[in-house]
Amino acid sequence: MITVLRIGHRPFRDKRITTHVSLVSRAFGADNVVVDEKDEILEETVNKVVKNFGGNFEIETGIEWKKYFKNFNGIKVNLTMYGINVDNRIDEIIEKTKNNDMVILVGAEKVPMDAYLMADYNIAIANQPHSEVSALAIFLDRYFKGKELQKTYEGRMNIIPMEHGKSVKFIPGEEESMKLLYNENADEKIIKHVQTVYKLAMSIGRYANADLKLIAAGSLLHDIGRTKTNGIKHATAGAQILRDKNIDDRVVNIVERHTGAGITKEEAVKLGLPERDYIPETLEEKIVAQADNLVAGDRLISLDTTLKNYNEKKLYDAAKKIKELNDELSLICGKNLDEIEKEVNNL
Ligand code: SAM
């Protein structure tokens, strides 16, 4: 666990600098930042970045820094231009923090002598004055040997690296998903249906420990294509609407692969769909597809009723796949999906 301790923060003067200290802490591999002065706006800004871009980074403001630094149970580093060159101590610090937490102190203006005396290491990133933001970034980069730059996050917004231009893909939240539906003129029938699928899918998702952000967006948006066509092509039509809006591929795939328990490449060709597999692959894709199989209109229906409906239409293969998917998910949830449906019905 790596904590950055920011002291000397003045909410009005250091707003951007302390935000940058916090964002550098997060992006370069620290787990949390603690700040001496209480600053709710700063907390909000940093929490918003975490919510949008992912990870478990935490911020706390308004702590008594001397007490915190003194009582910290682990290795204490003070970053200062007066210290020992980082390259002469970094291997020792890496070794010592294999089994210990570390706190890294950075200051704003003058840093009190107590910090120098309490620290296990006073470390300089060159013995020249510069900035807490650069000092912290270089220290963490030396500490992680550059590996922190490869770390990926699963946020609501994900940057797609590009040679030129900018591309950000989104996982819409519940409210944004509903807005997308209304913007496409989804009617009452679609809205009620997706909300029922959402309820069931979220419950299954909780039991299965699935990614609920993906399930929420995927279940609410799975039938957005019905605003264009009600036939079998509604799933690909929906996926296209979402691709055009830069929605995250994981959500797009939930939408594209939600029909029945999936459509194989051969079936797709017969149905006039672009030639590829539409089989749900990820846990979240499977959950939304199956929740949809267990909802008729805005009503939950049992697996038996679903299978009966498919068999009556002589869709025996599809019925078999739905049953298998049900068994697979029930096993993952540790509870039969029928039971989960009953719980949702009693809510
Ligand atoms: N003169 C101040 C002092 O009492 O040390 C330094 C203030 S400086 C603007 C703010 C912070 O930047 C310092 O507390 C330190 O954490 C960091 N910093 C600036 N230059 C640094 C350097 N060469 N090496 C390590 N940290 C540095």
Per-residue pLDDT reduced to its tens digit, 200-252: 999 999 999 999 999 999 999 999 999 999 888 899 999 999 999 999 999 99
pLDDT (average), residues 165-175: 93
pLDDT score of 315: 87
Which residues neighbour 223 within 8 Å (Cβ) at sequence distance 6 or greater? 186, 190, 193, 194, 234, 238
Average pLDDT, the chain: 94
Supply the pLDDT for residue 268: 80
Centroid of ligand 1 to alpha carbon of 82 (angstroms): 8
- Alpha carbons 318 and 24: distance in angstroms, whole number: 51
pLDDT surpassing 80 at residue 344: yes
> In ligand 1, which atom is closest to the CA atom of 105?
16
CA of residue 47 to ligand 1 center, whole Å: 26
Distance, in Å, from the CA atom of 200 to the CA atom of 232, rounded to the nearest integer, reads: 22
The answer, yes or no, to whether residue 294 has pLDDT greater than 90, is yes
pLDDT, one tens digit per residue, over 47-106 is 999 999 999 999 999 999 999 999 999 999 999 999 999 999 999 999 999 999 999 999
pLDDT at 347 > cutoff 70: no
Residue of the CA atom closest to atom 12 of ligand 1: 132
pLDDT at 14: 79
Residue nearest to atom 27 of ligand 1 (CA): 80
Rounded Cα distance between 269 and 138, Å, is 55
Which residues sit with their C-beta closer than 6 Å to ligand 1?
Answer: 79-81, 106-111, 124-126, 128-132, 135
Band of residue 156 on the pLDDT scale cut at 50, 70, 90: confident
Q: What is the mean pLDDT of residues 280-299?
A: 96
pLDDT of residue 172: 94
